[in-house]
């Protein structure tokens, strides 16, 4: 419990929101670190987002400036700082978040579990320092895509969740293919710490064998274990359109012949450019799910003629 909690609100762009999801910079070194959340207040205005930061005590001007630096588009806009009544500030940061149903999956926090639908696989994912609670259309689109693949009888024995965030997509894929050798990576060490905690909370086994999740901090695919465990029959990359295009040669190379690549984190206006980048790497578009302005693409790597 905190007797002196504070909330700082700033407008931001979608690109800034995604960047915050990947790295909160020097704020992670504060003790205790604040909880940052990004929200899309109006789905009809997909570039107008909001950055909300919760502190256990009143932030200094320097700390406020650190938050403002994460949203350069808000330069000239005065941050809104609110003093909150005594409360559990992490629970407060999760207020208003609704559980998410996507395919057979039901994703909730500890404060909104509700009644799990019959036959659903529930995951406890707290809102906090890492991106990917199931709330955003990119994450729920990936969950729906994975569910559909399993319902069609597809089987995968090795998988990679690239830019894992909270670990949710890796957990979901492991539930669908429990014997697969699973890998999850993120450039942000905090995300890997959060994924490890979430794995414990959801009884997801960690390790390097079949049916276990191997975690690592990595910049893209630049990690010896990521390279040694390739190629993967399934790769999930819910990141940003720019990095997806830039890394298309490396990501496509990590997919096994005939394997599947799920791409998300892009806008409708970016989908053709992303798909074209992977077509140039020998992949074809095999499926698409659209949630609001956020598509999820399923690419298949063409088999080479030997």
Bigger pLDDT: 274 vs 294: 274
- Using the predicted structure, report yes or no on whether residue 2 has a pLDDT greater than 70: no
- Using the predicted structure, report yes or no on whether residue 239 has a pLDDT greater than 70: yes
User: And the tokens for 147?
Assistant: 């569910």
- Give span(s): CATH 3.30.70, the chain: 5-92
pLDDT for residue 24? 72
Bigger pLDDT: 58 vs 281: 281
The model's confidence at residue 89, banded by pLDDT at 50, 70 and 90, is very low
- Using the predicted structure, report yes or no on whether residue 120 has a pLDDT greater than 70: yes
- Give span(s): CATH 3.40.50.150, the chain: 131-301
User: And the tokens for 98?
Assistant: 């609704």
Spatial CA neighbour of 237 closest among 130, 174, 245: 245
- ∠ CA 152-153-154, rounded to 5°: 100
Query: Does 163 belong to an annotated binding site?
Result: yes
pTM of the model: 0.73
CB atoms inside a 10 Å sphere around CB 246? 13
Answer yes or no: CATH 2.60.40 is held by domain 5-92. Answer: no
pLDDT for residue 268? 85
Q: What is the mean pLDDT of residues 196-210?
A: 96
- Dihedrals phi, psi of 153, to nearest 5 degrees: 90, 15
* 128-183 residue pLDDT tens: 544 544 446 788 899 999 999 999 999 999 999 999 989 999 999 999 999 999 99
- Dihedrals phi, psi of 270, to nearest 5 degrees: -105, -10
Largest CA distance in the chain: 68
Percent of the chain with pLDDT over 90: 55
pLDDT for residue 45? 74
- Using the predicted structure, report yes or no on whether residue 114 has a pLDDT greater than 50: yes
Q: What is the mean pLDDT of residues 263-291?
A: 93
Beta bridge partners of 190: none
Q: Which residues contact 186 (CB under 8 A, 6 or more apart)?
A: 130, 163, 164, 165, 192, 195, 217, 218
**CATH homologous superfamily of 131-301:** Vaccinia Virus protein VP39 (3.40.50.150)
Query: Does 238 belong to an annotated binding site?
Result: yes
Task: Label the pairing between strands 255-264 and 232-238.
Answer: parallel
- Using the predicted structure, report yes or no on whether residue 104 has a pLDDT greater than 80: yes
pLDDT for residue 23? 66
pLDDT for residue 21? 65
pLDDT for residue 171? 98
Bigger pLDDT: 295 vs 46: 295
Q: What is the mean pLDDT of residues 37-60?
A: 81
CA distance 133 to 126: 7
User: And the tokens for 209?
Assistant: 């064998």
Range list of β-strands (E), 192-273: 213-217, 232-238, 255-264
pLDDT for residue 47? 76
Bigger pLDDT: 31 vs 167: 167
pLDDT for residue 175? 97
The model's confidence at residue 233, banded by pLDDT at 50, 70 and 90, is very high
Q: Report CA-CA distances (Å) from 51 to 38, 70, 164, 260, 291.
A: 5, 9, 21, 34, 22
pLDDT for residue 130? 44
Bigger pLDDT: 255 vs 87: 255
Q: Are 119 and 26 in contact (CB under 8 A)?
A: no
């Amino acid at each position: 419990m905190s007797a002196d909690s504070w909330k700082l609100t700033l407008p931001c762009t979608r690109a800034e929101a995604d960047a915050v999801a990947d790295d909160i910079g020097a704020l992670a070194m504060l003790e205790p670190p604040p909880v940052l959340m990004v929200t899309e207040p109006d789905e009809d205005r997909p570039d107008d987002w909001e950055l909300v930061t919760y502190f256990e005590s009143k932030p200094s001007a320097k700390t406020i400036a650190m938050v403002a630096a994460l949203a350069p588009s808000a330069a000239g806009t005065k941050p809104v700082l609110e003093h909150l009544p005594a409360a559990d500030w992490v629970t407060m940061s999760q207020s208003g978040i609704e559980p998410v149903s996507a395919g057979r999956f039901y994703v909730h926090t500890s404060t909104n579990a509700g009644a799990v639908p019959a036959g659903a696989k529930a995951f406890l994912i707290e809102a906090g320092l890492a991106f990917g609670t199931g709330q955003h259309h990119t994450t729920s689109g990936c969950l729906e895509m994975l569910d559909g693949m399993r319902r069609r009888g597809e089987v995968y024995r090795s998988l990679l969740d690239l830019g894992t965030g909270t670990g949710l997509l890796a957990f979901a894929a492991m539930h669908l293919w429990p014997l697969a050798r699973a890998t999850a990576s993120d450039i942000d060490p905090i995300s890997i710490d959060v994924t490890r905690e979430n794995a414990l909370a959801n009884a997801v086994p960690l390790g390097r064998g079949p049916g276990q999740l191997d975690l690592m901090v990595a910049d893209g695919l630049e990690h010896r274990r990521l390279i040694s465990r390739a190629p993967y029959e399934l790769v999930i990359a819910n990141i940003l359109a720019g990095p997806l295009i830039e890394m298309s040669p490396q990501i496509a190379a990590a997919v096994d012949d005939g394997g599947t690549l799920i791409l998300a984190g892009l806008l409708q206006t970016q989908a053709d450019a992303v798909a074209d980048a992977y077509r140039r790497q020998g992949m074809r578009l095999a499926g698409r799910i659209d949630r609001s302005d956020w598509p999820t693409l399923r690419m298949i790597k063409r088999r080479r003629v030997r």
